Amino acid sequence: MRGIALLLAGLGLASCSTTALQPTRSAQAEQDFQRLLAGKVAGPPVACLSTFRANDMVVIDENTVAFKRGHSEVYVNHIPGGCSNLGMSHYALVTRQQGTSLCRGDIAQVMDISNGMTVGSCSMGDFIPYKRIGA
C-alpha cells in the first residue's frame, strides 16, 4: 500500500514539471529549419501575422510552420500540440483567417490534397520573428 502511495505522489510531482516534452524532428527537417533561420536573430513573439502569401508558408514538421517574408525575415509558429500528419507529402495546412491577419488561437485544418478531405485541425501559437541582422 505504501508503494502505491509513493508512486501516486511521484506521478503527481512529475505532472507539475515545468519541462515540456519537445518533439523530435527528423534530421532532414532540422537541417531545413536551421537553413531557413541561418543568419537571423529571434525577436519577441507576436500574436498575429499580417496577410501573407500561401506559397511563402513552409511546413517544417507536425509541430512547426514558418512564414517567409522575402529573404531577410521568417516568422516561426510552434503549433501547440502539433498537427498530426502535417509533415506528410500529400497533406497541406489550410488557414482561414478573420480579417487581414493570422493570429494565435486561429484554427488551421490539415487537408488531404488528393481528395480534399479534412484529416485534422490545430490551433496556431505565437509567431516568433527571425530577422537578418542589419536588414
Give pLDDT, residue 104.
93
Classified as helix, coil or strand, 55 is: helix
Three-state secondary-structure class, residue 74 = strand
Distance, in Å, from the CA atom of 72 to the CA atom of 135, rounded to the nearest integer, reads 7
pLDDT exceeds 60 at position 7: no
Q: Taking the alpha carbons of 108, 111, 74, 97 in that order, is the dihedral positive or negative?
A: negative
Alpha-carbon gap, residue 39 to 132, rounded angstroms: 6
Beta bridge pairs of residue 111: 92, 118
**pLDDT attached to residue 17:** 38
CA dist 101 and 44 (Å) reads: 18
19-23, 65-69, 84-88, 90-94: least confident range: 19-23
Cell output for 95: 488557414
